[in-house]
């Protein structure tokens, strides 16, 4: 005992935290360094340095790229999930803290971090990390600072030890980082620590020269309240007034401390801030206030200026600094065909306030032509470019009189003649009028012989009309005498589609930077930047008033995807919808644009900011100038081989030689439509639904690989247990439902912890209390659970609440979002939510038969299409076609999913498509059913292609795969194949896989009777208190035991099967029935002596059922024969038999458990469970492991953390087990449900006499 105690005391000291003791490899003893996504020695460096806080040595970590570098305590590992006794140099504690010293040399902002990682008994990470982000304000100051990080995993029983883990680029925005660490110490209590993460000066926009606010982002990373002891000073006579400062900050709390600043600020004004950071220590920073003027954007509000119209020429200047700037001189030069109506060509601004300033000139075109506007800006405070230009097209488009026009369905193209040639085109949708313009046939950007950039817009001087095809010929001769020849043809090709084919040639060698094909400016000349919906599948699924640069779903740089990698696009189409008009571009990604290369580059900017904004790093809406139009376009050469992603010209020029042609083919889309998903359907109309991917193995082989039978397992004998479990879910969901019928978003503890770890600059994943389709159907519960329970029971109370929920959803949501808020921003487009929408409205349709609900289910099915890959290039033979992008955004704003399929999300959506296809088949709508089932099967096969075929993870598949710059599985296969198996069963055995239970609603004068069965209902009818039900097994199988549930009805006189009376029973095997007075329902179990049987219920009628919730007192004695009092044999248990005051069952597998009815127990009032139980085990087994789980109102799922283990005797005698619950960290607040595992092996005979919580 003494030796153990001494070893424990020794282990609680973090050894060599000062890095003084070195090993043979030159690194500190007890520590190990690593690097991934790069090479140690090239991208990363870990070395001992003499630049120490104390002692002779410290440790330096440096990264020069986006590689991840880290430091760990040494520890052994074997296999995840397998216990290992030794912990190495890990610290065997669950609670405490660390202090450390650091000198921060360089950071990207939040990528240099100190983690405490909780480790399980297998020495693998087992819970959320605790994180300390080294503040960027100290970067490069050359001083030593203190870091303090408290952690507490005392409520996490799986945690055995902690890892000390300094990291660069494991969280935050990846980039260079450099830090020196020293003197890491463990303490049982660390006290308080005020960490200041950032300091900002925010000018008052109303009084920018004399007023503002100093804002300090601070948090307490210690374990005691941190006092607020902050002083501000300035040599420039600035005064500071605190704004509602707290006296202290609680441990783990993050806040913003603010002071009003008064006094005139000039360039160079300084503010010093000092604060108490730790007991006896203080920190300080100084900031210098400066103006910073930038020329952000310049251009007309629309690209095409029509004769007779008035327009704005706009100059966007920004002062990104903190003080008023000096004078700014502006000179503009306008083309001669434009008249200046308002404003001066030269002007002087005496000063520019902090913030953005837009200057406007009123102009009017006087004659057609191509005009270039220029601006020069002079200021001593100017940073970046001082000049900009913008090209506008002045024209007349006599839409009613234009002789040169093409039409396909509702789409009309008008080509007016202009002095500069043909090429400008007005785009109309007949029912909506002008929808946009195409400003030119093409544009070339190239290098001259002297290496200068030149740009030319191509227009034709002639055209040929052959049938319905218009062909234009354009020639441009450059300054080196090279002739550029463009042939452009336009022809109707399908309803609402016009094909465009471009061919570019040059008669001398040229270095091409970009060849832009038809650029569609949606809204130009009509509705401007207004819109209702817009889509670039796989990347953007927008609703007004969002912009394509918004940061609501992804932080910069991932918010900007205006010129994406082609493999990020799931369906090559982009479109904008306004009112009932939809226009867009469709293209063939596999076209060989130079006879060799495929995948043209696309452009998407909504609104268009690309043409009027100067190049800017990490663009956001605040940094760009939007035009009154939306940009859709295609260009060559391809990203990423020549062009860097999210740029519009080649970094490496493309050499075009005489005799070689570049070609580009696309289709202009225009139609009347009220939903943006029609754009994807138009793409599929054009190219057809892709053939199914090649199976890596047959369905049967896949099921065998996953150790599953060919037919759905557990299909029969579960209806009664299911309805009991569903009642508990519904009760929880009803309590959480708001008065308006919705379910509100709330950040939970887990996602708050993770958000703090990955994106500490964000407080939440969305506004608390907001709603989405996902929040109202989260986890296939809430509104879905209500409608499913209504379908099975006919409960009128539930009907009222279910109808209120679906009204709210129908009135408020049109985009699938909000189903993955454990890590994804609330309103981010989400394929899971699309599937939930399908299931919800299918449930409503099955209850009511109202076609409107089925149509809405079809609508939600279509909203999932932009997430699915409907093409693949030759170098991605597997894992791409029918893969899905889970969300069109990022996890925790930092980790984008573009080009990274997460197939389990698509497989979940596929199960809902199969449910929809089944219903459509039942209605005789075979073609629609075939379409949706084909997509579901494609998703399933794609998932099979991702599966691991060998080893311990055989059958599993990765959480995600990469398709863009890398082509690989991103993990060794951590996802269980359950959804693949479920989809295969639904495809091969739809009667068993695609339907949970068959339902038929019978209408009586007094109300509706709901008949539910596990076997297919062939007939159900009621006449004069006599109810006939005919059911048929799948594949005409015999010997199957199936269950029938009828509700809400009165207690029947008798029940017959095939004319023979069935006896009421306590449950168990064979034919029996029971009436549940509590739920006003009949439960019937029958053995199918033949595939089809008839059940006759006599003396039965509708009985109103309004009672809910069906709460149970937590004291179960099983005194009523056949009544399990709400308990259900949920897993690996035979159906219950209740008689003689006992509940009896038998375990059929290694994980038997039963789930109890809804309860409401205040944990502080009751703290013990009594179970009187008898268990008999196979010979030789004397004891088995029992376990009790519970749920809470604030945490409704069963989990290992909310459970206790107990030993169960197997001597076939009754024993009273007293299971102590009081004092368990998770036994708190309101307990809502229990789950009992009576053992952990098969063939246990279990009898329970009583269970009671007291």
Q: Which residue has the tokens 């970009």?
A: 514
Q: Decide if pLDDT at 8 tops 70.
A: no
The number of angstroms, rounded, from the C-alpha of 877 to the middle of its chain's C-alpha atoms is: 26
Q: Would 942 be classed as within a structural domain?
A: yes
User: Strands 581-587, 662-672: parallel, antiparallel or unpaired by DSSP?
Assistant: antiparallel
Per-residue pLDDT at 3: 31
In the three-class reduction of DSSP (H, G, I as helix; E, B as strand; rest coil), residue 811 is classed as: helix
Of 848, 897, 849, 893, nearest in space to 869 by CA? 897
The CA angle 1172-1173-1178, to the nearest 5 degrees, is 165
Domain containing 88 — which CATH number?
Answer: 2.60.120.260
Please count the structural domains in the chain. 7
Distance (Å, rounded) from C-alpha 485 to C-alpha 460? 10
Q: Would 1138 be classed as within a structural domain?
A: yes
Residue scoring higher pLDDT (184 or 13):
184
Per-residue pLDDT at 818: 97
pLDDT range class, residue 399, cuts 50, 70, 90: low
Residue 137 shares a structural domain with residue 61 = yes
Of 562, 1251, 543, 433, nearest in space to 828 by CA? 543
Answer yes or no: are the C-beta atoms of 482 and 447 closer than 8 Å: no
Query: What are the tens digits of pLDDT across the range 262-280?
Result: 998 889 999 999 999 999 9
Q: Decide if pLDDT at 1123 tops 90.
A: no
Q: Would 431 be classed as within a structural domain?
A: yes
Average pLDDT, the chain: 94
Q: Would 374 be classed as within a structural domain?
A: yes
Distance (Å, rounded) from C-alpha 381 to C-alpha 386? 11
How big, in percent rounded to 5, are the helix, strand and coil portions of the chain?
A: 15, 40, 45
CA distances to 330, 441, 455 from 319, in Å:
15, 38, 31
CA distances to 79, 305, 1245 from 1138, in Å:
44, 83, 14
Residue 1040 shares a structural domain with residue 933 = no
User: Strands 177-187, 194-203: parallel, antiparallel or unpaired by DSSP?
Assistant: unpaired
Query: What are the tens digits of pLDDT across the range 855-878?
Result: 999 999 999 999 999 999 999 999
Residue 1230 shares a structural domain with residue 1186 = yes
Residue 420 shares a structural domain with residue 563 = yes
In the three-class reduction of DSSP (H, G, I as helix; E, B as strand; rest coil), residue 936 is classed as: helix
The CA angle 42-43-45, to the nearest 5 degrees, is 80
Helix (H) or strand (E) holding 914: helix 903-922
User: What pTM was estimated for this model as a whole?
Assistant: 0.88
Residue 250 shares a structural domain with residue 368 = no
**Averaged pLDDT for residues 516-530:** 95
Put residue 369 in one of left, alpha, beta given phi > 0 → left and psi -120 to 50 → alpha: left
The per-residue b/e assignment along 124-136, b for 16 or more CB within 10 angstroms, e otherwise, is ebbbbbbbbbbbb
Per-residue pLDDT at 552: 96
Domain containing 421 — which CATH number?
Answer: 2.70.98
CA distances to 887, 1133, 1170, 1220, 1245 from 1236, in Å:
37, 12, 12, 14, 15
Distance (Å, rounded) from C-alpha 1245 to C-alpha 1174? 8
Distance (Å, rounded) from C-alpha 1163 to C-alpha 1222? 8
Q: Decide if pLDDT at 679 tops 80.
A: yes
Q: What is the token pair recorded at 1136?
A: 């219950």
Residue 757 φ then ψ, to 5°: -70, -50
Domain containing 957 — which CATH number?
Answer: 1.50.10.10
Per-residue pLDDT at 401: 60
Distance (Å, rounded) from C-alpha 1076 to C-alpha 61? 68
Structural domain span for residue 811: 699-708+721-963
Per-residue pLDDT at 402: 63
Q: Decide if pLDDT at 1217 tops 50.
A: yes
Residue 766 shares a structural domain with residue 913 = yes
Q: Would 714 be classed as within a structural domain?
A: no
Of 676, 589, 671, nearest in space to 636 by CA? 589
Domain containing 1086 — which CATH number?
Answer: 2.60.40.1180
Residue 523 shares a structural domain with residue 580 = yes
First-last CA distance in the chain: 38
**Averaged pLDDT for residues 1118-1134:** 88
**Averaged pLDDT for residues 618-642:** 96
Per-residue pLDDT at 627: 97
Per-residue pLDDT at 1248: 97
Residue 755 φ then ψ, to 5°: -65, -40
Residue 30 shares a structural domain with residue 129 = yes
Per-residue pLDDT at 400: 59
Distance (Å, rounded) from C-alpha 580 to C-alpha 432? 7
In the three-class reduction of DSSP (H, G, I as helix; E, B as strand; rest coil), residue 289 is classed as: strand
Q: Would 715 be classed as within a structural domain?
A: no
Helix (H) or strand (E) holding 932: helix 926-946
Q: What is the token pair recorded at 792?
A: 């099975």
The domain boundary, picked from 333, 361, 395, lies at 395
In the three-class reduction of DSSP (H, G, I as helix; E, B as strand; rest coil), residue 1020 is classed as: strand
Residue 212 shares a structural domain with residue 346 = no
Answer yes or no: are the C-beta atoms of 805 and 741 closer than 8 Å: yes
Distance (Å, rounded) from C-alpha 259 to C-alpha 868? 50
Q: Would 920 be classed as within a structural domain?
A: yes
Answer yes or no: are the C-beta atoms of 1115 and 1169 closer than 8 Å: no
Handedness of CA 913, 918, 919, 924 (dihedral sign): positive
The number of angstroms, rounded, from the C-alpha of 330 to the middle of its chain's C-alpha atoms is: 45
- Angle between helices 903-922 and 851-863 in degrees, nearest 10: 150
Per-residue pLDDT at 173: 86
Per-residue pLDDT at 266: 87
The domain boundary, picked from 248, 274, 289, lies at 289
Domain containing 310 — which CATH number?
Answer: 2.60.40.10
Answer yes or no: are the C-beta atoms of 446 and 464 closer than 8 Å: no
| Residue 56 DSSP symbol | S
Residue 297 shares a structural domain with residue 284 = no
List 250's β-bridge partners, or say none.
none
Helix (H) or strand (E) holding 920: helix 903-922
% pLDDT > 90, the chain: 85
In the three-class reduction of DSSP (H, G, I as helix; E, B as strand; rest coil), residue 338 is classed as: strand
Query: What are the tens digits of pLDDT across the range 441-450?
Result: 999 999 999 9
Residue 754 φ then ψ, to 5°: -70, -40
10-24, 46-60, 117-131, range with greatest mean pLDDT: 46-60
User: Strands 654-656, 510-522: parallel, antiparallel or unpaired by DSSP?
Assistant: antiparallel
Answer yes or no: are the C-beta atoms of 625 and 297 closer than 8 Å: yes
Per-residue pLDDT at 1: 31
Distance (Å, rounded) from C-alpha 681 to C-alpha 882? 15
CA distances to 62, 204, 207, 324, 330 from 350, in Å:
46, 19, 16, 10, 11
> Considering all CA atoms of the chain, what is the largest pairwise distance in Å, rounded to the nearest integer?
104
The CA angle 944-950-952, to the nearest 5 degrees, is 110
The domain boundary, picked from 963, 986, 1010, lies at 963
Residue 116 φ then ψ, to 5°: -110, 120
Residue 87 shares a structural domain with residue 60 = yes
pLDDT range class, residue 396, cuts 50, 70, 90: confident
Query: What are the tens digits of pLDDT across the range 317-364?
Result: 999 999 999 999 999 999 999 999 999 999 999 999 898 999 999 999
Question: Who contacts 96 (Cβ-Cβ below 8 Å, separation ≥6)?
Answer: 150, 151, 186, 187, 188, 189, 190
Q: Would 953 be classed as within a structural domain?
A: yes
Per-residue pLDDT at 942: 98
Q: What is the token pair recorded at 364?
A: 């009017």
Put residue 1100 in one of left, alpha, beta given phi > 0 → left and psi -120 to 50 → alpha: beta
Query: What are the tens digits of pLDDT across the range 230-263?
Result: 999 999 889 999 999 999 999 988 899 999 999 9
Residue 1145 φ then ψ, to 5°: -160, 175
Query: What are the tens digits of pLDDT across the range 884-893?
Result: 999 999 999 9
Query: What are the tens digits of pLDDT across the range 1014-1049?
Result: 999 999 999 989 999 999 998 888 999 999 999 999
Helices (H), 677-795: 678-687, 699-705, 719-736, 749-758, 773-777, 783-793
Per-residue pLDDT at 1106: 79
Handedness of CA 258, 261, 267, 268 (dihedral sign): negative
Residue 70 shares a structural domain with residue 179 = yes
Q: Decide if pLDDT at 283 tops 50.
A: yes
Distance (Å, rounded) from C-alpha 554 to C-alpha 771? 20
């Amino acid at each position: 005992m003494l030796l153990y105690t001494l070893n424990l005391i020794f282990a609680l000291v973090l050894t060599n935290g000062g890095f003084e003791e070195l090993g043979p490899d030159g690194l500190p003893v007890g520590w190990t360094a690593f690097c991934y996504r790069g090479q140690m020695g090239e991208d990363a460096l870990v070395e001992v340095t003499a630049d120490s806080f104390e002692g002779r040595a410290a440790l330096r970590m440096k990264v020069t790229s986006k590689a991840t570098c880290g430091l760990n305590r040494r520890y052994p590992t074997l296999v995840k999930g397998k216990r290992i006794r030794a912990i190495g140099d890990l610290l065997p504690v669950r609670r405490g803290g660390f202090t450390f010293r650091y000198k921060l040399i360089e950071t990207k902002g939040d990528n240099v971090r100190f983690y405490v990682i909780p480790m399980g008994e297998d020495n693998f990470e087992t819970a959320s990390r605790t994180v300390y982000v080294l503040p960027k304000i100290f970067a490069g100051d050359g001083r030593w600072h203190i870091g303090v990080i408290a952690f507490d995993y005392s409520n996490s029983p799986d945690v055995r030890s902690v890892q000390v883990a300094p990291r660069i680029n494991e969280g935050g925005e990846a980039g260079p980082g450099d830090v020196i660490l020293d003197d890491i110490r463990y303490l049982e209590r660390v006290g308080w620590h005020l960490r200041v993460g950032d300091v900002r000066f925010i000018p008052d926009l109303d009084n920018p020269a004399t007023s503002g606010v100093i804002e300090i982002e601070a948090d307490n990373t210690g374990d005691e309240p941190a006092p607020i002891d902050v002083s501000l000073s300035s040599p420039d006579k600035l005064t500071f007034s605190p704004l509602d400062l707290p006296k202290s900050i609680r441990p783990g709390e993050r806040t913003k401390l603010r002071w009003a600043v008064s006094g005139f600020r000039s360039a160079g004004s300084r503010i010093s801030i000092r604060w108490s950071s730790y007991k006896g220590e203080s920190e300080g920073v100084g900031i210098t206030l400066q103006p910073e003027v930038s020329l952000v954007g310049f251009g007309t509000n629309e690209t095409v200026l029509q004769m007779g119209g008035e327009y704005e020429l706009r100059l966007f200047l920004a002062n990104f600094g903190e003080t008023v700037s000096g004078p700014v001189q502006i000179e503009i030069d306008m083309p001669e065909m434009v008249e200046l109506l308002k404003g001066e060509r030269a002007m002087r601004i005496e000063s520019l306030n902090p913030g953005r300033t837009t200057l406007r000139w009123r102009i009017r075109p006087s004659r057609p032509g191509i005009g270039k506007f220029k601006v020069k800006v002079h200021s001593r405070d100017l940073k970046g470019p001082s000049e900009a230009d913008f090209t506008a097209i002045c024209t007349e488009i006599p839409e009613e009189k234009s002789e040169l026009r093409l039409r396909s369905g509702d789409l009309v193209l008008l080509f007016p003649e202009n002095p500069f040639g043909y090429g400008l085109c007005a785009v109309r949708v007949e029912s909506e009028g002008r929808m946009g313009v195409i400003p030119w046939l093409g544009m070339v950007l190239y290098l001259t012989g002297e290496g200068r950039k030149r740009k030319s817009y191509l227009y034709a001087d002639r055209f040929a009309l052959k049938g319905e095809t218009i062909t234009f010929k354009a020639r441009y001769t450059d300054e080196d005498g090279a002739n550029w020849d463009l042939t452009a043809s336009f022809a109707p090709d399908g309803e609402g589609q016009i094909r465009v084919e471009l061919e570019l040639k040059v008669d001398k060698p040229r270095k091409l930077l970009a060849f832009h094909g038809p650029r569609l400016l949606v809204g130009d000349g009509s509705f401007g930047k207004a819109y209702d919906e817009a889509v670039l599948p796989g990347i953007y699924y927008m609703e007004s008033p969002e912009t394509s640069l918004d940061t609501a779903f992804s932080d910069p740089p991932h918010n900007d995807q205006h010129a994406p990698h082609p493999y990020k696009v799931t369906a090559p189409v982009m479109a904008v919808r306004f009112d009932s008009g939809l226009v867009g571009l469709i293209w063939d990604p596999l076209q060989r644009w130079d006879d060799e290369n495929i995948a043209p580059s696309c452009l998407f900017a909504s609104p268009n900011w690309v043409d009027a904004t100067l190049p800017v790093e990490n663009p956001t809406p605040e940094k760009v100038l939007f035009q009154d139009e939306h940009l859709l376009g295609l260009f060559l050469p391809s990203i990423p081989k020549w062009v860097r992603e999210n740029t519009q010209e080649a970094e490496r020029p493309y050499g075009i030689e005489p005799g070689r042609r570049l070609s580009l083919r696309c289709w202009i889309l225009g139609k009347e439509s009220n939903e943006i998903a029609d754009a994807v359907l138009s793409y599929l109309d054009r190219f057809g639904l892709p053939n199914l991917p090649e199976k890596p193995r047959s369905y049967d082989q896949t099921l065998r690989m996953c150790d599953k039978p060919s037919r759905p397992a557990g299909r029969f004998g579960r209806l009664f247990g299911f309805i009991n479990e569903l009642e508990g879910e519904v009760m929880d969901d009803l309590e959480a439902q708001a008065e308006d019928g919705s379910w509100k978003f709330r950040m939970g503890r887990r996602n708050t912890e993770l958000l703090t770890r990955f994106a500490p600059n964000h407080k939440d994943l969305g506004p608390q209390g907001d709603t989405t389709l996902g929040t109202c159907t989260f986890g296939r519960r809430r509104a879905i659970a209500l409608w499913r329970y209504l379908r099975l029971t006919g409960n009128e109370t539930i009907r009222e609440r279910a109808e209120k929920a679906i009204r709210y959803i129908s009135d408020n949501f049109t985009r699938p979002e909000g189903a993955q808020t454990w890590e994804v921003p609330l309103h981010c487009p989400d394929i899971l939510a699309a599937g939930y929408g399908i299931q919800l409205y299918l449930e409503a349709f099955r209850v009511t038969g109202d076609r409107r609900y089925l149509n809405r289910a079809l609508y939600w099915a279509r909203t999932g299409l932009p997430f699915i890959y409907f093409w693949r290039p030759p170098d991605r033979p597997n894992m791409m076609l029918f893969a899905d992008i889970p969300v069109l955004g990022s996890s925790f704003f930092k980790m984008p999913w573009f080009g990274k399929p997460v197939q389990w999300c698509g497989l979940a959506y596929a199960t809902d498509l199969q449910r929809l296809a089944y219903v459509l088949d039942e209605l005789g709508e075979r073609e629609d059913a075939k379409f949706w089932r084909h997509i579901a099967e494609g998703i399933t096969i794609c998932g099979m292609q991702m599966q691991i075929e060998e080893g311990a993870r055989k059958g599993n598949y990765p959480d995600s795969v990469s398709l863009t710059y890398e082509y690989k599985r991103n993990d060794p296969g951590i996802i269980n194949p359950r959804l693949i198996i479920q989809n295969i069963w639904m495809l091969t055995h739809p009667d068993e896989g695609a339907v949970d239970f068959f339902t038929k609603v019978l209408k009586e004068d007094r109300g509706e009777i709901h008949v539910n069965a596990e076997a297919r209902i062939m007939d159900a009818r009621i006449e004069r208190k006599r109810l006939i039900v005919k059911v048929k097994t799948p594949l005409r199988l015999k010997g199957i035991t199936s269950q029938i549930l009828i509700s809400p009805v009165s207690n029947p006189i008798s029940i017959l099967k095939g004319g023979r009376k069935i006896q009421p029973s306590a449950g168990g095997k064979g034919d029996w029935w029971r009436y549940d007075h509590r739920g006003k329902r009949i439960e019937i179990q029958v053995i199918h002596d033949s595939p089809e049987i008839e059940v006759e219920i006599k003396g039965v009628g509708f009985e109103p059922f309004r009672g809910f919730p069906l709460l149970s007192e937590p004291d179960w004695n099983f005194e009523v024969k056949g009544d399990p009092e709400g308990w259900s044999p949920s897993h690996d248990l035979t159906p219950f038999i209740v008689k003689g005051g006992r509940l009896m069952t038998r375990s059929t597998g290694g994980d038997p458990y039963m789930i109890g009815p809804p309860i409401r127990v205040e944990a502080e009032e009751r703290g013990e469970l009594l179970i009187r139980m008898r268990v008999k085990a196979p010979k030789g087994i004397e004891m088995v492991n029992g376990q009790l789980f519970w749920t809470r109102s604030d945490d409704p799922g069963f989990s290992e953390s909310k459970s206790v283990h107990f030993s169960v005797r197997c001597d076939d005698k009754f024993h009273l087990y007293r299971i102590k619950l009081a004092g368990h960290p998770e036994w708190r607040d309101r307990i809502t449900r229990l789950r009992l595992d009576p053992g952990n092996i098969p063939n246990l005979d279990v009898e329970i006499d009583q269970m009671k919580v007291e």
